[in-house]
Chain A
Amino acid sequence: MATKKESRVEVKKTYKLFINGAFPRSESGRVFEVTAKNGDFIANPALASRKDLRDAVTAARAAQSGWSKATAYNRGQILYRIAEMLEGRADQFESEIVFTSHVTPAKAKALVAEAIDRWVWYAGWSDKLQAVSGATNPVSGPFFNFSISEPQGVVAIASSDSFLEFIDAIAAAVVSGNTSVVLVPGGLAVPAMSFAEVLATSDLPAGVINILTGSLDELAPWAASHMDIDGFDISGIQKKKHGALKEAGAENLKRIHSFGSGKTPARILAFMESKTVWHSVGV
């Protein structure tokens, strides 16, 4: 006979990928193990394959035109909405970071608060970028000459294992109108997939941010050589491997950058291109 004290069976979360607004398993069916500092099992996130990367790039490319054509105001609103959702689930992110990054609860709390503030800081740039980076250039002739910054297209991100840097990289890439494919290593997979759940409930159009968990060493070379990726943020990859990735990305003149921690608008502009327009002044 069952007694009242019988403990219930816990409903465990299956960690999957985030591609085109949906949560599919890896095409390869592979997973890897994330453990706590003491070796306790935490989760089995999906180990993404190069075909998952290909699918994510297809989704990002399809979403690119809609996202970049949305008004800066609208993009800012959606990114702010994401911050609202993050705030509501701050406790969950804190505990996941404590388990997977082995930091104290106080440190995790500060980290999550900082991450949310960073996200809002970057979101605010959406309708201010043109004022700062655009220009009316003086030319010798009866012409107006404008330089306007435009998003590059699809940006891949090889994130470091820090949640804060993960947030920085994504916010900087998508605020200008780029779409992104984010490669997430190791234990960061756990809070990263919770972040994907935040994105899925924030009116963010499908495909704008795609998240793949797994091995950077496996996926980064495929991302670097992929002809349909326009920019690649390799901040999460060791310096000694940068050369090989830059070489692989040369075929389609991919912009490959690496950034330190800290917030800067330069990081947004790194994945934007300047378009120059001439227009006659008239008489």
Chain B
Amino acid sequence: MSFYGLVDGSEKSLIQYLDQLSGVDQVGAEARAAMLATRSIKTTSKKWAIETAISMVDLTTLEGADTPGKVRALCSKAVRPDPTDPTVPSVGAVCVYNDMVEIARTHLDAIGGEHVPVAAVSTAFPSGRASMEVKIQDTQDAINAGAGEIDMVIDRGAFLAGKYGLVFDEIVKIREVCGDKAHLKVIFETGELVTYDNVRKASFLAMLAGADFIKTSTGKVAPAATPPVVLVMLEAVRDFYAITQRRIGVKPAGGIRTTKDAIKQLVLVNETAGPEWLTPNLFRIGASALLNDLLMQRMKMSDGYYASPNYVTID
């Protein structure tokens, strides 16, 4: 088998390919991310950025305490983020645990949210510690229940032990399960990968194996989507596009709570991967609290005075 004509899927070819990737200049990446974070986005650009960011949010609830009621409320919010203003766009997707997919899909369809996909976290999220059979079944269940996107976690232990072939095979198998029914996002948990070099290697590994999106984190580990990590991943998709002519999406998740954080991410996208990536098809932000802040900033811009959290929903 050949993957983009770059590797044949064997452990040896993967090691060979990943080891020849250029290393990441840690200080340079951090300095560039910090520099881009100082860009000032105001007035009409800010309004555009807020609405674009809303349409990119993967509205997420991944709690042990999630109830069907909470998931339905979240779905309603996903379709009409601000009930008082129909001009606010729907979010990119609703992201829930496997067993909530059917509830979310049914409710979305019932309230006119057919255009909002349900993303399911899969493959023994968040740790990724389960047998391959369990991971495949987990993914199959989610797709059967109506998930349009699968957020799988990689086996970080295997990756850190250098077993690239194992990680690669897992992604390939889950990709097969997804078929043309679901987009595949691959979660690295960058907080556990330790170095930017590893993040770059993992990015290429996942892209070669057929990921549609690469995603920073589960949201359960800190640090999560720090700007330098997102920068490294955006550089990886840019370089991958130059080699293969295929655009892979990026999804930072975890720790993005304010409009300012979200706009910084958009600046990173525009300046690193390019404006082609500024679409919900190629860039998503995994978040829960962020949406309220985006809505409050939007209210501030339209009303002319500062908003209060009392006027947006809690969940």
- Residue ranges of A at the interface with B (Cβ–Cβ < 8 Å): 54, 57, 61, 222, 225-228, 248, 251-252
Contacts and interface: CB of A to CB of B under 8 A. Distances in A.
15 contacts: A54-B306, A57-B306, A61-B309, A222-B305, A225-B305, A226-B305, A226-B306, A226-B308, A227-B306, A227-B307, A228-B306, A228-B307, A228-B310, A248-B305, A252-B308
A99 to B, nearest CB: 35
Q: Chain B contact residues: over half helix, strand or loop, or mixed?
A: loop
B311 interface: yes
A226 B304 CA distance: 10
A240 B306 CA distance: 24
Given A54-B306, A226-B305, A227-B307, 5 more contacts: A61-B309, A225-B305, A225-B306, A227-B311, A228-B310
Q: Which 6 A-B pairs have the closest CB atoms?
A: A225-B305, A227-B308, A228-B308, A226-B306, A227-B307, A54-B306
A33 B305 CA distance: 29
Interface of B: 304-311
Contacts of A227: 305-308, 310-311
Contacts, number: 25
A222 B308 contact: no
A92 B305 CA distance: 39
Contacts of B306: 54, 57, 222, 225-228
B307 A251 contact: no
A48 to B, nearest CB: 14
A58 to B, nearest CB: 10
A57 to B, nearest CB: 7
B293 to A, nearest CB: 10
A226 B306 CA distance: 5
B50 to A, nearest CB: 16
Contacts of A222: 305-306
B305 A251 contact: yes
A252 B308 CA distance: 10
Contacts of A226: 305-306, 308
A222 B308 CA distance: 13
A179 B305 CA distance: 21
A227 B307 CA distance: 5
Nearest to A57: B306
A251 B306 CA distance: 11
Contacts of B311: 227
A226 B309 CA distance: 11
A252 B310 CA distance: 10
A194 to B, nearest CB: 29
Contacts of A57: 306
Nearest to B306: A226
A222 B300 CA distance: 11
Contacts of A225: 304-306
B71 to A, nearest CB: 27
A228 B311 CA distance: 10
Contacts of A61: 309
Contacts of B307: 227-228
A251 to B, nearest CB: 7
A222 B304 CA distance: 9
Contacts of B309: 61, 228
B310 to A, nearest CB: 7
A222 B303 CA distance: 12
Nearest to B299: A227
- Of B304, B306, B310, B311, most buried by chain A (CB within 10 Å of CB) is B306
A61 B308 CA distance: 10
Contacts of B308: 226-228, 252
Nearest to A224: B305
Nearest to B309: A228
Contacts of B310: 227-228
Nearest to B307: A227
Nearest to A251: B305
B290 to A, nearest CB: 15
A228 B310 CA distance: 8
A57 B308 CA distance: 10
B313 to A, nearest CB: 15
B235 to A, nearest CB: 31
A227 B308 CA distance: 5
Nearest to B305: A225
Contacts of A252: 308
B301 to A, nearest CB: 13
Nearest to A154: B308
